[in-house]
Amino acid sequence: MAVVAVPAAALVLLTVAAFFGRYFWVLDLVANFRPQIFVGLVLCGLVLMMGKWRRVGAVTLAAAVLNLVIVLPLFVGSPGDPDSSAPLLRVLTYNLRGSANQSYAEVVDFIRRNEPDLVLLHEAYRPWELAMEPLSSDYRIIRGRSDDLIFGTLVLLRGQLLDWESYGFAIDEPRALELEFIPRGWDRPVHVLSLHANSPTDSGRAALRDAQLEFAREWAERQEGPFVVAGDLNSTPWSWAFRRLLGAGLRDSATGFGIQATYPADRNPLVRIPIDHILHSRDLGVRSRQLGAALGSDHFPVLADLELRS
Protein backbone atom coordinates (compact mmCIF):
# COMPACT_ATOMS: atom_id res chain seq x y z
CA MET A 1 0.00 0.00 0.00
CA ALA A 2 2.93 2.33 0.46
CA VAL A 3 3.27 2.62 -3.31
CA VAL A 4 -0.26 4.10 -3.36
CA ALA A 5 0.05 6.11 -0.14
CA VAL A 6 2.99 8.17 -1.47
CA PRO A 7 1.18 9.58 -4.56
CA ALA A 8 -1.96 10.00 -2.44
CA ALA A 9 -0.02 12.13 0.04
CA ALA A 10 1.44 14.18 -2.82
CA LEU A 11 -2.04 14.83 -4.24
CA VAL A 12 -3.34 15.85 -0.81
CA LEU A 13 -0.48 18.34 -0.49
CA LEU A 14 -1.19 19.70 -3.97
CA THR A 15 -4.86 20.12 -3.07
CA VAL A 16 -3.91 22.40 -0.17
CA ALA A 17 -1.03 24.13 -1.95
CA ALA A 18 -3.31 25.14 -4.85
CA PHE A 19 -5.09 27.58 -2.51
CA PHE A 20 -1.89 29.66 -2.35
CA GLY A 21 -1.48 30.38 -6.06
CA ARG A 22 -1.66 34.09 -5.34
CA TYR A 23 1.73 33.91 -3.67
CA PHE A 24 3.59 31.54 -6.00
CA TRP A 25 2.81 31.17 -9.69
CA VAL A 26 3.57 27.43 -9.80
CA LEU A 27 0.87 26.75 -7.22
CA ASP A 28 -1.61 28.66 -9.36
CA LEU A 29 -0.75 26.30 -12.21
CA VAL A 30 -1.52 23.39 -9.89
CA ALA A 31 -4.99 24.82 -9.24
CA ASN A 32 -5.76 24.48 -12.96
CA PHE A 33 -5.76 20.71 -12.59
CA ARG A 34 -8.22 20.25 -9.73
CA PRO A 35 -10.45 17.87 -11.75
CA GLN A 36 -7.47 15.64 -12.52
CA ILE A 37 -6.32 15.81 -8.89
CA PHE A 38 -9.83 14.81 -7.81
CA VAL A 39 -9.79 11.72 -10.03
CA GLY A 40 -6.35 10.72 -8.78
CA LEU A 41 -7.40 11.13 -5.14
CA VAL A 42 -10.54 9.05 -5.61
CA LEU A 43 -8.60 6.20 -7.20
CA CYS A 44 -5.89 6.26 -4.52
CA GLY A 45 -8.42 6.60 -1.73
CA LEU A 46 -10.47 3.61 -2.85
CA VAL A 47 -7.38 1.43 -3.20
CA LEU A 48 -6.18 2.43 0.29
CA MET A 49 -9.58 1.74 1.80
CA MET A 50 -9.73 -1.70 0.21
CA GLY A 51 -6.17 -2.36 1.41
CA LYS A 52 -7.29 -1.55 4.96
CA TRP A 53 -5.24 1.65 5.19
CA ARG A 54 -8.49 3.26 6.25
CA ARG A 55 -7.17 6.36 7.99
CA VAL A 56 -4.91 7.29 5.11
CA GLY A 57 -7.68 6.40 2.69
CA ALA A 58 -10.19 8.56 4.58
CA VAL A 59 -7.87 11.59 4.47
CA THR A 60 -7.29 11.00 0.75
CA LEU A 61 -11.01 10.81 0.02
CA ALA A 62 -11.64 13.92 2.14
CA ALA A 63 -9.17 15.82 -0.05
CA ALA A 64 -11.00 14.47 -3.11
CA VAL A 65 -14.27 15.84 -1.74
CA LEU A 66 -12.63 19.25 -1.24
CA ASN A 67 -11.63 19.36 -4.91
CA LEU A 68 -15.08 18.18 -5.91
CA VAL A 69 -16.74 21.00 -3.97
CA ILE A 70 -14.58 23.51 -5.85
CA VAL A 71 -15.29 22.03 -9.31
CA LEU A 72 -18.94 21.03 -8.82
CA PRO A 73 -20.52 24.50 -9.32
CA LEU A 74 -19.77 24.26 -13.04
CA PHE A 75 -22.07 21.22 -13.17
CA VAL A 76 -24.81 22.04 -10.66
CA GLY A 77 -24.93 25.83 -10.88
CA SER A 78 -27.95 27.16 -12.71
CA PRO A 79 -27.58 29.43 -15.74
CA GLY A 80 -31.17 30.54 -15.14
CA ASP A 81 -34.33 29.78 -17.05
CA PRO A 82 -33.94 30.68 -20.74
CA ASP A 83 -36.34 33.16 -22.27
CA SER A 84 -36.84 32.48 -25.96
CA SER A 85 -38.38 35.92 -26.43
CA ALA A 86 -35.34 37.77 -25.03
CA PRO A 87 -32.88 39.46 -27.42
CA LEU A 88 -30.05 37.05 -28.22
CA LEU A 89 -26.32 37.62 -28.69
CA ARG A 90 -24.31 34.64 -29.98
CA VAL A 91 -20.62 35.00 -29.11
CA LEU A 92 -17.74 32.96 -30.52
CA THR A 93 -14.23 33.13 -29.07
CA TYR A 94 -11.48 31.07 -30.65
CA ASN A 95 -7.69 30.95 -30.46
CA LEU A 96 -6.62 30.13 -34.02
CA ARG A 97 -3.04 29.12 -33.12
CA GLY A 98 -1.60 31.65 -35.53
CA SER A 99 0.49 30.41 -38.44
CA ALA A 100 0.44 26.80 -37.16
CA ASN A 101 -3.19 26.57 -38.28
CA GLN A 102 -4.03 26.91 -41.95
CA SER A 103 -7.57 25.51 -41.88
CA TYR A 104 -8.94 28.74 -43.28
CA ALA A 105 -11.91 27.31 -45.20
CA GLU A 106 -13.00 25.14 -42.28
CA VAL A 107 -13.10 28.13 -39.90
CA VAL A 108 -15.03 30.26 -42.40
CA ASP A 109 -17.51 27.41 -42.86
CA PHE A 110 -17.86 27.02 -39.08
CA ILE A 111 -18.71 30.71 -38.73
CA ARG A 112 -21.23 30.57 -41.57
CA ARG A 113 -22.96 27.49 -40.15
CA ASN A 114 -23.25 28.83 -36.59
CA GLU A 115 -23.95 32.48 -37.49
CA PRO A 116 -22.49 34.15 -34.38
CA ASP A 117 -23.21 37.83 -33.89
CA LEU A 118 -19.77 38.48 -32.44
CA VAL A 119 -16.61 36.57 -33.43
CA LEU A 120 -13.31 37.00 -31.56
CA LEU A 121 -10.41 35.30 -33.37
CA HIS A 122 -7.18 35.35 -31.37
CA GLU A 123 -3.67 34.92 -32.79
CA ALA A 124 -4.92 36.08 -36.18
CA TYR A 125 -2.11 37.10 -38.51
CA ARG A 126 -2.20 38.45 -42.07
CA PRO A 127 -3.32 35.24 -43.89
CA TRP A 128 -6.21 34.86 -41.43
CA GLU A 129 -7.25 38.45 -42.04
CA LEU A 130 -7.35 37.74 -45.77
CA ALA A 131 -9.20 34.46 -45.23
CA MET A 132 -12.04 36.24 -43.41
CA GLU A 133 -12.67 38.73 -46.22
CA PRO A 134 -15.41 36.57 -47.85
CA LEU A 135 -17.44 37.19 -44.67
CA SER A 136 -17.27 40.97 -45.04
CA SER A 137 -20.69 41.08 -46.69
CA ASP A 138 -22.25 39.74 -43.47
CA TYR A 139 -19.90 41.14 -40.83
CA ARG A 140 -18.09 44.30 -39.89
CA ILE A 141 -14.43 43.22 -39.61
CA ILE A 142 -12.09 44.93 -37.14
CA ARG A 143 -8.37 44.21 -37.09
CA GLY A 144 -6.84 44.59 -33.65
CA ARG A 145 -3.32 43.88 -34.89
CA SER A 146 -1.01 46.79 -35.65
CA ASP A 147 1.35 46.52 -38.62
CA ASP A 148 4.41 46.03 -36.42
CA LEU A 149 3.01 42.91 -34.70
CA ILE A 150 2.75 39.38 -36.07
CA PHE A 151 -0.74 38.68 -34.72
CA GLY A 152 -3.58 40.13 -32.69
CA THR A 153 -7.33 39.66 -32.34
CA LEU A 154 -9.59 39.81 -35.37
CA VAL A 155 -13.21 40.79 -34.68
CA LEU A 156 -16.28 40.10 -36.79
CA LEU A 157 -19.58 41.57 -35.67
CA ARG A 158 -23.13 42.07 -36.85
CA GLY A 159 -25.02 45.04 -35.55
CA GLN A 160 -24.41 48.74 -35.14
CA LEU A 161 -20.83 49.49 -34.11
CA LEU A 162 -20.64 52.53 -31.84
CA ASP A 163 -16.98 52.53 -30.83
CA TRP A 164 -13.91 50.36 -30.47
CA GLU A 165 -10.41 50.67 -29.08
CA SER A 166 -7.32 48.47 -29.08
CA TYR A 167 -5.13 48.42 -25.97
CA GLY A 168 -2.10 46.79 -27.58
CA PHE A 169 -1.06 43.20 -28.21
CA ALA A 170 2.64 43.20 -27.41
CA ILE A 171 3.57 40.72 -24.70
CA ASP A 172 3.74 43.36 -21.93
CA GLU A 173 0.56 45.18 -22.98
CA PRO A 174 -3.07 44.45 -22.02
CA ARG A 175 -3.55 42.44 -25.24
CA ALA A 176 -7.18 43.56 -25.25
CA LEU A 177 -9.73 45.13 -27.55
CA GLU A 178 -12.86 46.99 -26.39
CA LEU A 179 -16.09 47.19 -28.38
CA GLU A 180 -19.38 48.98 -27.96
CA PHE A 181 -22.14 47.97 -30.34
CA ILE A 182 -25.87 47.36 -30.56
CA PRO A 183 -26.56 43.75 -31.56
CA ARG A 184 -29.34 43.05 -34.02
CA GLY A 185 -32.72 43.06 -32.27
CA TRP A 186 -31.41 44.88 -29.20
CA ASP A 187 -32.56 48.30 -28.01
CA ARG A 188 -29.39 49.06 -26.07
CA PRO A 189 -25.62 48.68 -26.54
CA VAL A 190 -23.41 45.99 -25.06
CA HIS A 191 -19.78 46.56 -24.08
CA VAL A 192 -17.27 43.81 -24.83
CA LEU A 193 -13.67 43.37 -23.74
CA SER A 194 -11.81 40.80 -25.82
CA LEU A 195 -8.71 39.56 -24.01
CA HIS A 196 -5.81 37.26 -24.91
CA ALA A 197 -3.73 36.98 -21.76
CA ASN A 198 -0.17 35.66 -21.64
CA SER A 199 0.41 32.00 -20.89
CA PRO A 200 1.90 31.74 -17.35
CA THR A 201 4.88 29.55 -18.28
CA ASP A 202 7.35 31.31 -15.96
CA SER A 203 7.19 33.82 -13.13
CA GLY A 204 7.47 36.85 -15.42
CA ARG A 205 4.76 35.74 -17.81
CA ALA A 206 2.55 34.69 -14.90
CA ALA A 207 2.85 38.21 -13.46
CA LEU A 208 1.93 39.68 -16.86
CA ARG A 209 -1.09 37.34 -17.10
CA ASP A 210 -2.24 38.44 -13.66
CA ALA A 211 -1.83 42.12 -14.61
CA GLN A 212 -3.85 41.58 -17.79
CA LEU A 213 -6.69 39.94 -15.85
CA GLU A 214 -6.49 42.79 -13.36
CA PHE A 215 -6.87 45.20 -16.30
CA ALA A 216 -10.04 43.32 -17.27
CA ARG A 217 -11.32 43.42 -13.69
CA GLU A 218 -10.88 47.19 -13.48
CA TRP A 219 -12.56 47.59 -16.88
CA ALA A 220 -15.53 45.49 -15.74
CA GLU A 221 -15.96 47.52 -12.56
CA ARG A 222 -16.38 50.68 -14.66
CA GLN A 223 -19.14 49.30 -16.86
CA GLU A 224 -22.84 50.08 -16.72
CA GLY A 225 -25.46 48.05 -18.53
CA PRO A 226 -24.76 44.68 -20.19
CA PHE A 227 -21.11 43.77 -20.76
CA VAL A 228 -18.98 40.77 -21.69
CA VAL A 229 -15.36 39.74 -21.11
CA ALA A 230 -14.27 36.96 -23.46
CA GLY A 231 -11.17 35.35 -24.90
CA ASP A 232 -8.21 33.14 -24.13
CA LEU A 233 -7.58 34.10 -20.50
CA ASN A 234 -4.92 31.44 -19.94
CA SER A 235 -6.46 30.65 -16.57
CA THR A 236 -9.09 28.22 -15.33
CA PRO A 237 -12.06 28.90 -13.04
CA TRP A 238 -9.92 27.68 -10.12
CA SER A 239 -7.09 30.17 -10.60
CA TRP A 240 -7.00 32.93 -7.98
CA ALA A 241 -6.63 35.62 -10.69
CA PHE A 242 -9.73 34.31 -12.47
CA ARG A 243 -11.73 34.27 -9.23
CA ARG A 244 -10.67 37.84 -8.58
CA LEU A 245 -11.87 38.80 -12.06
CA LEU A 246 -15.29 37.27 -11.37
CA GLY A 247 -15.53 39.50 -8.31
CA ALA A 248 -16.06 42.49 -10.63
CA GLY A 249 -19.72 41.61 -11.17
CA LEU A 250 -19.09 38.91 -13.77
CA ARG A 251 -20.56 35.45 -14.17
CA ASP A 252 -19.03 32.46 -15.90
CA SER A 253 -21.10 31.30 -18.89
CA ALA A 254 -19.88 27.74 -18.22
CA THR A 255 -21.89 27.54 -14.99
CA GLY A 256 -24.37 24.69 -15.36
CA PHE A 257 -22.73 23.37 -18.54
CA GLY A 258 -19.77 21.49 -17.06
CA ILE A 259 -16.03 21.96 -17.42
CA GLN A 260 -15.90 22.16 -21.25
CA ALA A 261 -12.09 22.02 -21.36
CA THR A 262 -10.67 23.91 -24.34
CA TYR A 263 -6.91 23.29 -24.26
CA PRO A 264 -4.86 21.44 -25.45
CA ALA A 265 -7.24 20.17 -28.11
CA ASP A 266 -4.51 18.08 -29.74
CA ARG A 267 -3.60 16.15 -26.57
CA ASN A 268 -5.17 13.49 -24.38
CA PRO A 269 -8.58 14.64 -23.06
CA LEU A 270 -7.47 13.75 -19.53
CA VAL A 271 -4.99 16.65 -19.45
CA ARG A 272 -7.26 19.30 -20.98
CA ILE A 273 -8.23 22.40 -19.00
CA PRO A 274 -10.75 25.24 -19.61
CA ILE A 275 -8.78 28.42 -20.33
CA ASP A 276 -11.03 30.02 -23.00
CA HIS A 277 -13.96 31.86 -21.47
CA ILE A 278 -17.06 33.96 -22.06
CA LEU A 279 -17.93 35.94 -18.93
CA HIS A 280 -20.96 38.20 -18.69
CA SER A 281 -22.65 40.78 -16.49
CA ARG A 282 -25.58 39.90 -14.26
CA ASP A 283 -28.18 41.40 -16.61
CA LEU A 284 -27.24 38.81 -19.23
CA GLY A 285 -28.16 35.14 -19.11
CA VAL A 286 -26.90 32.06 -20.92
CA ARG A 287 -29.30 30.16 -23.16
CA SER A 288 -26.72 27.65 -24.40
CA ARG A 289 -22.98 27.04 -24.42
CA GLN A 290 -20.92 24.55 -26.39
CA LEU A 291 -17.50 23.80 -27.84
CA GLY A 292 -16.83 23.41 -31.53
CA ALA A 293 -14.27 21.22 -33.29
CA ALA A 294 -10.60 22.20 -33.03
CA LEU A 295 -10.38 23.06 -36.77
CA GLY A 296 -6.60 22.85 -36.85
CA SER A 297 -5.93 24.69 -33.59
CA ASP A 298 -4.79 23.46 -30.19
CA HIS A 299 -7.86 25.21 -28.73
CA PHE A 300 -11.54 24.40 -29.12
CA PRO A 301 -13.79 27.35 -30.03
CA VAL A 302 -16.35 28.41 -27.42
CA LEU A 303 -19.84 29.37 -28.62
CA ALA A 304 -22.39 30.84 -26.21
CA ASP A 305 -25.86 32.29 -26.66
CA LEU A 306 -26.34 35.23 -24.29
CA GLU A 307 -29.72 36.80 -23.76
CA LEU A 308 -30.71 40.13 -22.30
CA ARG A 309 -32.63 39.71 -19.04
CA SER A 310 -34.43 42.22 -16.88
Say yes or no: 67 and 102 in one domain.
no
> b/e map of 125-138 (b: 16 or more CB within 10 Å)?
beebbebbeeeeee
CA atoms within 13 A on the CB side of 4: 19
Say yes or no: 208 and 94 in one domain.
yes
Residue numbers of the domain that contains 179: 88-308
* pLDDT reported for residue 144: 86
Residue 30, in any domain of the structure: yes
Residue 77, in any domain of the structure: no
* pLDDT reported for residue 253: 97
Say yes or no: 239 and 99 in one domain.
yes
Say yes or no: 194 and 280 in one domain.
yes
Say yes or no: 119 and 225 in one domain.
yes
CA distance 240 to 230: 18
* pLDDT reported for residue 82: 77
Say yes or no: 133 and 282 in one domain.
yes
pTM recorded for the entire structure: 0.94
Query: Are residues 261 and 237 in contact, defined by beta-carbon separation less than 8 angstroms?
Result: no
Residue that terminates a domain, selected from 71, 101, 118: 71
CA distance 161 to 37: 45
Q: In Å, how far are 45, 56, 238, 286 from 62, measured between CA atoms?
A: 9, 10, 19, 33
Domain count, the chain: 2
Say yes or no: 156 and 248 in one domain.
yes
Q: Mind listing the pLDDT tens digit for each residue in 12-37? A: 999 999 999 999 999 999 999 999 99
Q: Report the length, in residues, of the chain.
A: 310
Say yes or no: 12 and 92 in one domain.
no
Calculate the CA dihedral of residues 203, 97, 115, 175 and round it to 10 degrees.
Answer: 40
* pLDDT reported for residue 86: 84
Residue that terminates a domain, selected from 23, 40, 71: 71
CA distance 145 to 170: 10
Say yes or no: 163 and 226 in one domain.
yes
Say yes or no: 56 and 106 in one domain.
no
* pLDDT reported for residue 84: 76
Say yes or no: 145 and 176 in one domain.
yes
Say yes or no: 64 and 182 in one domain.
no
Report DSSP letters for 17-77, one per residue: HGGGTTT-HHHHHHHTTHHHHHHHHHHHHHHHHHTT-HHHHHHHHHHHHHHHHHHTHHHHS
CA-closest candidate to residue 103, choices 129, 131, 125, 142? 131
Residue that terminates a domain, selected from 23, 44, 71: 71
Residues of the chain with pLDDT under 70: 310
CA atoms within 13 A on the CB side of 203: 2
What's the CATH number where 123 sits? Answer: 3.60.10.10
CA distance 60 to 66: 10
Residue 138, in any domain of the structure: yes
Residue 226, in any domain of the structure: yes
